[in-house]
Amino acid sequence: MILCTSVSCKEQVTIAEAQKLTISEGFENPLGFYDETPSFSWQLPVSEGVSSQSAYQIVVASSPDLLPDHADLWDSKKQQTAQSTWVEYGGAALQSRQNVYWQVKYWNQDHESSKWSEINQFELGLLNNSDWNAKWIGLDTKKEKVIGSQDNILHRPQYLRKGFELSNDVASARLYITAKGVFDVAINGEDVSDDVMPPGYTPYKVRIETLTYDVTDLIESGQNTIGIEVAAGWHSGRLGWMKAYWSDTETPKVLAQLELIMKDGSKAMILSDETWKGTTNGPIRVSEIYDGETYDANLEMPNWTTNNFDDRSWEAVNAFPVTEDIRLEPKRHTTVKTKIELGTQDVVEKEGTAIFDLQQNMVGVPLLKVPMKKGQTLKIRFAEKLSPDGTFYTENYRSAQSTNYYIASEDGVIEWMPKFTFHGFQYVELSGYDTSKTPSKDWVTGLVQYSDFEENGTFTSSHEKLNQLQSNIVWGLRGNFFDIPTDCPQRDERMGWTADAQVFAPASMFNADVYKFWASWMQSVGESQYDNGGVPWVVPDVLFNNKVSAGWGDACTIIPWKIYLRTGDKKILEENFETMTGWVKYHESVTKNYISKMGFFADWLQPLPENGDNKGDTSKSLIGTAFFAHSANLTAKTAKALGKAEAFEKYNALYKTVANAFENKFFENGKVKDVAETQTSYLLALAFGLLSEEHEANAKRHLLEKIAEADNHLRTGFLGTPLLSEVLDATGEIELMYKILFNETYPSWFYSINQGATTIWERWNSYSKDEGFNPMKMNSLNHYAYGAIGEWMYERIAGIAPLEPGYKAIRIAPVPKEPLTSAAASLNTPYGKVSSSWEIKDGIFSLNVVVPPNTTAKVVVPGSVETFEENDAIEKISAETEKAEFLVQPGNYIFKSKL
């Protein structure tokens, strides 16, 4: 073996090149990128001779022609390290509009060098407000109350346009654009993108995201036209049940800057400014997130985004310069797109009304192809479920009208979908169509819309209902990752409720590539933090009520830590550390002798509370104190990971002090005292490590008693439920956890499945076949919180968990129990795909594992191991009658044991 220590050393190129090159939170060749100091990640190929990395070299240049030998931006030089993820860029900070090219090579465990990877590329967006010469433009839309069913309207959608002439041919064109509202843009009659409701939802008073589009192919030499539609969206529409608005006074606006480089090298800019014209007399009459959209085809304006249109009757727009108070930043995660199309499965017609059933509760819009007669108004209603008598159940939309109208301008089949609204539904009801035609399935297609991420993990098992639960979790994710993590997608909320987010984040990270999504929302959390350190109930904080709740605000410590464990990227910790310390300080400010007085939602929606309250029976003070300790602990761990020794000492000591106070106040010999004894009080104490060691066993015993009292059922709400599996697992009560998970009766996960759920419900009993809908109007049928159980399904039933942050070391330790006979999961980790798949046949347990390159796995095989492949890559660490442990190098292996 020849050890190459310098680049000049003669290297044999024998091994396959690095793959899946990404920057920062997982972007591949992005345009309009946000990060001026990105990090670089890559994966080693699954290939013979590649097991780990001993060194890497990254080269970064302003032109592909300079690579690899003349990198003018940065050359990492050969670095002797196994690090292949989140390598920080070491060159000068990148600039707005900059084009960057990079490639990487690595050396394997035998110090053999790979070829250089393919060249990857990214281009920065506009990083500073001062980059914007364009002005915010819009018409002076008045607040209007539109009579009819949609009576909460503020602003009519606007149509804005501008013609411009170019004397030269275009070499490249970028459109930088955003809105106070939501927009859709076309150039010369062509859609610029298929983004849904950009720019998305951020704390608008602090930061608005901007998009960058490559429009080179849309620009023509000579005359051109750009046209933009803008509607209220989250910015100027009502949000929240209290009808809150980000801006009560400011009308929706757009900001657009088209930058052109001509073939002769000259530059030009087309800016949104007072020379643009606009109208509110276009076909979209009304569009609001909660209430829906009204489209009048009689008002269509053919060709309005082309040169071939006369806008003399349009008004001049108002224009306002960009100021410094609201930061304009390139969007730091992916926009919402139409990701899946669902066909109608069943149609029922009754007296001119047709109900279309998609057989899956979903979020997005319908694509309608419906025969109509001129002058008819098609009414389009939505429901998540039908009442037992076949009528539409819409009570749970509360004040959200969630209704669309389409007014036909001629006879024939219309093809239409709403543009600036979305709905949560399984059923679509149409009335007002041409009743001489029989409704057919192709009239309605469900377009499923969510932030554009890829699915990243899989889980299946031998049990149909467990597989349905997995499907419901995934549909909860698809339904509630609409630019921000929402509590629910259908009623007059759809807000970034912080507890819902923190309990579901780990399960979401397994199922989908959502690091960018969470990192972006966590930025909004930091920006929404109150001056006193409090973290609001919802982010972006549209409730404007200055209120906090334990278990909700703690999203700011829990989510970054959980993301760090799954990605290994310290940037998420760095970015959020200040928010964490501020929040811990806030916790402390509402305590007396470290006992919390923080109130609010408590163990929200706990089933069967004795006090009959949504907030459950567990003491609020106990919950507040437990989360105070937990957040202090996570802040201490974060400080340690970031090498902040002093801060670690401080927060670790605080954690211990609070834990001690917690135990003295609420426990005696491991038994809850003076407040209601609930499953959740024991779960918090045990999960967060708040009891002295000698009392833990007792606490566990009391928890088991509480569970037995409930006939082995859970009695937990939003805060307790995610801890149930964690605590029972850690205390060895895996059989009991299986029992609780596989329960069919209320309250349990399978109970909702038995009642027909295709998503996760807000309440354990949102609906039952015997009793119908829960009488509470707060009754979402698409609320991902209880999908938190996914974390345990993947990590323990299938058995894949990170042993070191980012899965650099992986634990594969499935726990097979009745009634399962098989389970399998796979996950794309930062290092590549890991999988674990097990089966029991004739008493023999066989486990197939795939360990990705540049990692190692600790595989724990239950039972007495009969065979494992004799292989250098597998080292037996221990063997007992009940289990054996192996240290496993990258590759694909099978283990067999007798259970």
In DSSP notation, 578-621 reads: HHHHHHHHHHHHTEETTEE---S--STT-SS-TT--TT-SS-HH
For 642, the 3-state DSSP assignment is coil
- What is the C-alpha to C-alpha distance for residues 379 and 149, in angstroms, rounded to an integer? 11
Q: Which are the contacts of 436, defined by CB distance < 8 A and separation ≥ 6?
A: none
Q: In the complex, what is the shortest distance from the CB of residue 422 to ligand BGC, in angstroms, rounded to a whole number?
A: 17
- What is the C-alpha to C-alpha distance for residues 596 and 881, in angstroms, rounded to an integer? 47
CB of 750 within 8 A of CB of 469?
yes
Q: In terms of CB distance, is 175 or 605 closer to ligand BGC?
A: 605
- What is the C-alpha to C-alpha distance for residues 844 and 876, in angstroms, rounded to an integer? 20
CB of 443 within 8 A of CB of 430?
yes
- What is the C-alpha to C-alpha distance for residues 249 and 180, in angstroms, rounded to an integer? 12
Q: In terms of CB distance, is 499 or 687 closer to ligand BGC?
A: 499
Q: In terms of CB distance, is 500 or 733 closer to ligand BGC?
A: 500
Q: In the complex, what is the shortest distance from the CB of residue 612 to ligand BGC, in angstroms, rounded to a whole number?
A: 16
**Nearest 5°: CA angle at 74, between 69 and 76?**
85
- What is the C-alpha to C-alpha distance for residues 24 and 475, in angstroms, rounded to an integer? 27
SS3 letters for 159-197?
EEEEEEEECCCEEEEEEEEEEECEEEEEECCEECCCCEC
In DSSP notation, 381-446 reads: EEESEE-TTS-EE-GGGTT---EEEEE-SSSEEEEE--SS--EEEEEEEEESS-TTS---GGGEEE
Binding site for ligand BGC (CB under 6 A): 487-488, 493, 497, 499-500, 601, 604, 778
Indicate the Cα dihedral angle 572, 814, 630, 718, nearest 10°.
100
Rg (the chain; Cα; Å): 29
Amino acid present at 262: M
Q: Which two tokens stand for residue 760?
A: 């996760």
Q: Where are the beta strands (DSSP E) in 664-704?
A: 667-668, 671-672
- What is the C-alpha to C-alpha distance for residues 98 and 268, in angstroms, rounded to an integer? 17
Q: In the complex, what is the shortest distance from the CB of residue 113 to ligand BGC, in angstroms, rounded to a whole number?
A: 53
Q: In the complex, what is the shortest distance from the CB of residue 746 to ligand BGC, in angstroms, rounded to a whole number?
A: 20
Q: In terms of CB distance, is 500 or 677 closer to ligand BGC?
A: 500
Q: In terms of CB distance, is 66 or 778 closer to ligand BGC?
A: 778
CB of 371 within 8 A of CB of 435?
no
Q: b/e for 356-392, b at 16 or more Cβ within 10 A?
A: bbbebbbbbbbbbebbbeeebebbbbbbbbbeeeeeb
Q: β-strands 39-43, 19-23: how paired?
A: antiparallel
Q: In the complex, what is the shortest distance from the CB of residue 386 to ligand BGC, in angstroms, rounded to a whole number?
A: 22
Amino acid present at 372: M
- What is the C-alpha to C-alpha distance for residues 565 and 568, in angstroms, rounded to an integer? 6
Other beta carbons within 10 angstroms of residue 274's beta carbon come to 12
Q: In terms of CB distance, is 601 or 666 closer to ligand BGC?
A: 601
**Nearest 5°: CA angle at 193, between 188 and 195?**
140
Q: In the complex, what is the shortest distance from the CB of residue 34 to ligand BGC, in angstroms, rounded to a whole number?
A: 29
Q: Where are the beta strands (DSSP E) in 68-119?
A: 74-75, 87-88, 99-108, 113-114
Q: In terms of CB distance, is 282 or 485 closer to ligand BGC?
A: 485
Q: In the complex, what is the shortest distance from the CB of residue 725 to ligand BGC, in angstroms, rounded to a whole number?
A: 20
Q: In terms of CB distance, is 413 or 778 closer to ligand BGC?
A: 778
- What is the C-alpha to C-alpha distance for residues 466 and 819, in angstroms, rounded to an integer? 11
Q: β-strands 207-214, 284-288: how paired?
A: unpaired
Q: In terms of CB distance, is 429 or 493 closer to ligand BGC?
A: 493
Q: Which helix (H) or strand (E) holds 627?
A: helix 620-641
CB of 894 within 8 A of CB of 869?
yes
Q: In terms of CB distance, is 450 or 601 closer to ligand BGC?
A: 601
Which residues are known to be catalytic? Answer: 493, 762
Q: In terms of CB distance, is 607 or 816 closer to ligand BGC?
A: 607
Q: In the complex, what is the shortest distance from the CB of residue 395 to ligand BGC, in angstroms, rounded to a whole number?
A: 15
Q: In the complex, what is the shortest distance from the CB of residue 789 to ligand BGC, in angstroms, rounded to a whole number?
A: 16
Other beta carbons within 10 angstroms of residue 630's beta carbon come to 24
CB of 635 within 8 A of CB of 641?
no
H helix count then E strand count, the chain: 14, 54
Q: In terms of CB distance, is 601 or 655 closer to ligand BGC?
A: 601
Q: In the complex, what is the shortest distance from the CB of residue 276 to ligand BGC, in angstroms, rounded to a whole number?
A: 40
Q: In terms of CB distance, is 416 or 552 closer to ligand BGC?
A: 552
Q: b/e for 247-263, b at 16 or more Cβ within 10 A?
A: eeebbbbbbbbbbbbbe
Q: In the complex, what is the shortest distance from the CB of residue 494 to ligand BGC, in angstroms, rounded to a whole number?
A: 9
